[in-house]
Amino acid sequence: MRIAVCGGPYGNPYALRAFVADARDRGCERLYCLGDLGGFGAEVDALWPILTGSGDAALDGTPVECVAGNYDVAIARGDTDCGCGYRDPKDNEYAQLVYDHTLATTSRDFAAWMGKLPTERRETIEGVDVHMVHGSTLALNDFWWESLPEEAHRLRAETSGADVVLCTHSGLPWQRRIGDTLAVNVGVLGKPANDGRQEVWYAVLDLDDGAARAELIPLAYDWRAQARSMRAAGLPGIFAETIETGWWTTCLEILPPAERSRGRFHLYRSTLPTGFRPADDGWGPVAGKDAAAQAEDRPVVPLFGTAYFPSRLWLYTNFHCNLACDYCAVASSPTAAPRTLPVDTFHRLLDEAVTAGFTDLYLTGGEPFLHPAIIELLDHASAQLPTVVLTNAMLLRGRRAAGLEELAGRKLTLQTSLDGATAATHDRHRGAGSWARTMDGIRHLISLGLPPRVALTETADNGPEIPAVGELLAGLGLPKDNFAVRPMLRRGFSEEGMEIGEDSSVPELTVSADGLHWHPAGADLGSSPDMRLAGPGTPLERGKELVTERFFAARLTDGSLPRPVHCAI
């Protein structure tokens, strides 16, 4: 036998009617709904004749057999809230708006009908033990997320013991085998699955001779009519926007990190904890800082493009270097494995970066000017995005200098390091003769029309010289804003300095020949395996999802995140 199972019509008669028609066209003999008839949409009473099979001759009188969800129980009793199980105040605020509308506009006859529905249903169909619930086998409003740990899935399956368990409350469709049980979240009809599609989802199950197979079905329906009806009823426009775009704009905080990372929006603008806001640390504005989101009136924002996940991309051109600085966070040196980024890979990454919405590019190493094609890379990059290249400024002669001179006037900035006002201080960490060569490089860049930015890595012995370094650079004609101080980090070669990890730093997506990393200070796979996100070839869009997922995992553990750790001005 073939059956169709939907969840959460949420006051959306257009999708419910399409479900009945589509399921019948697919040969489904019985139709089921797992509850939450109201909530989100405006036309709850219009569902009743469709569910009973009495309201549309074109549907051949096909009834939909229902179990009650938490919404239906609450409406039947006249409760003051939906009992949805949200924990965040903003989630509950939006849920209350819709619940109040639903309670006020649902007829008491339909509410009484809801009150007679069972809260679960268990049948043996063609030799298959099928258990239908709303939330899970543990609770009516339990969120059975796909990303739950294996033991949590196993608990819910074993509590039932059925061959098939069907649920809906979380609103996101998935299926998986849990031991001998097939678990299926059938999705909901009332709103899209936070996937950028206007379609909604339901499940078709084939049950035969004790065996079960499920297919999740995307369902097209008249979403424009649903959005119009919501706006006409005076529901907030962001609710209709979800119907129109396929992206959730409310009830975000309930989403676990994995599910949240796949959506377009991730945070309520108005409810960010104070400790979660990166402080102004004197390093200048963050690239891409929330510009698009601030221009809109929407109460939710994406993580990417804000101060919490800047839209700058870091690329490690290579890891070998002509210096062996004793505090190098990525363990670069003349003997380090080069791990050079191929030119074709670089070009692909640039194309991806533009498409993925990155607004700035930072190239680093190792020493980027040891890459044999560095001028070609800079030419290609600066033609597409504002580009910063971090260099020790010692190799800028000959063909490299000629190539740089041709790029003057492009969206290209060079940044170098000067760790003391005297050679003795600087060379202590970077090697004999390096201060003089760096100073020559700075002067040479100025002469080429490429005045560099200069960063000083603060150590135990160079702090008193910081004002003198600023004066030295000002004497060369560099603006004050072209000089900044950054902390020494305890990574790579350094056994001292600030601790940095994915739970203590704002992410900046970084690519090396070894894959994707959380932050440029953790891009050396050998000394920072904990900060790698994924292996080589992983698309940048997937990298953005991984960053977002790890970001919220850290936030949910601790509740806050500290200030950014900037590697560049």
Phi, psi of 105 (to 5 degrees): -110, -5
β-sheet bridge partners, residue 333:
320
β-sheet bridge partners, residue 267:
301
Q: Which two tokens stand for residue 60?
A: 């051949």
* CA separation for the pair 105, 37 (Å, rounded): 13
- Listed residue (35, 16, 23) closest to 204, CA to CA: 23
CA-derived radius of gyration, the chain: 29
- Virtual torsion, Cα 82, 86, 92, 94, nearest 10 deg: -80
Q: Are 366 and 395 in contact (CB under 8 A)?
A: no
- Listed residue (489, 417, 494, 403) closest to 450, CA to CA: 403
User: Per residue of the chain (569 residues), what is the pLDDT tens digit?
Assistant: 999 999 999 999 999 999 999 999 999 999 999 999 999 999 999 999 999 988 665 677 789 999 999 999 999 999 999 999 998 888 999 999 999 999 999 999 999 999 999 999 999 999 999 999 999 999 999 999 999 999 999 999 999 999 999 999 999 999 999 999 999 999 999 999 999 999 999 999 999 999 999 999 999 999 999 999 999 999 999 999 999 999 999 999 899 999 999 999 998 887 554 444 554 433 334 444 444 444 457 889 899 988 889 999 999 999 999 999 999 999 999 999 999 999 999 999 999 999 999 999 999 999 999 999 999 999 999 999 999 999 999 999 888 888 998 988 889 999 999 999 999 999 999 999 999 999 999 999 999 999 999 999 999 889 999 999 999 999 999 999 999 999 999 999 999 999 888 878 889 999 999 999 999 999 999 999 999 999 999 999 999 999 999 988 887 665 555 456 766 65
- Listed residue (523, 531, 522, 535) closest to 550, CA to CA: 531
- Say what the pLDDT of residue 199 is: 98
Q: Are 3 and 27 in contact (CB under 8 A)?
A: no
**Can you tell me whether residue 363 is helix, strand or coil?**
strand
Residue type for position 533? L
- Say what the pLDDT of residue 270 is: 72
**Can you tell me whether residue 449 is helix, strand or coil?**
coil
Q: Which two tokens stand for residue 393?
A: 């400024």
Q: Residues with Cβ < 8 Å from 285, sequence gap 6 or more?
A: none
Reported as a single tens digit per residue, the pLDDT across 134-190 is: 999 999 999 999 999 999 999 999 999 999 999 999 999 999 999 999 999 999 999
**Can you tell me whether residue 190 is helix, strand or coil?**
coil
* Distance set, CA 552 to CA 148, 507, 546 (Å): 15, 11, 10
* CA separation for the pair 216, 172 (Å, rounded): 11
> What beta strand segments (E) does 291-353 contain?
300-301, 312-316
Sign of CA pseudo-dihedral 461, 462, 467, 469: positive
Q: Are 99 and 74 in contact (CB under 8 A)?
A: yes
- Say what the pLDDT of residue 437 is: 96
Q: In what order do the strands lie in the sheet with 164-167?
A: 120-125, 128-133, 164-167, 181-185, 174-178
The structure's pTM equals 0.88
Count of residues in the chain: 569
Residue type for position 433? G
Angle, CA 443 vertex, CA 438 and CA 447 arms, to 5°: 145
Q: Which two tokens stand for residue 155?
A: 């608990």
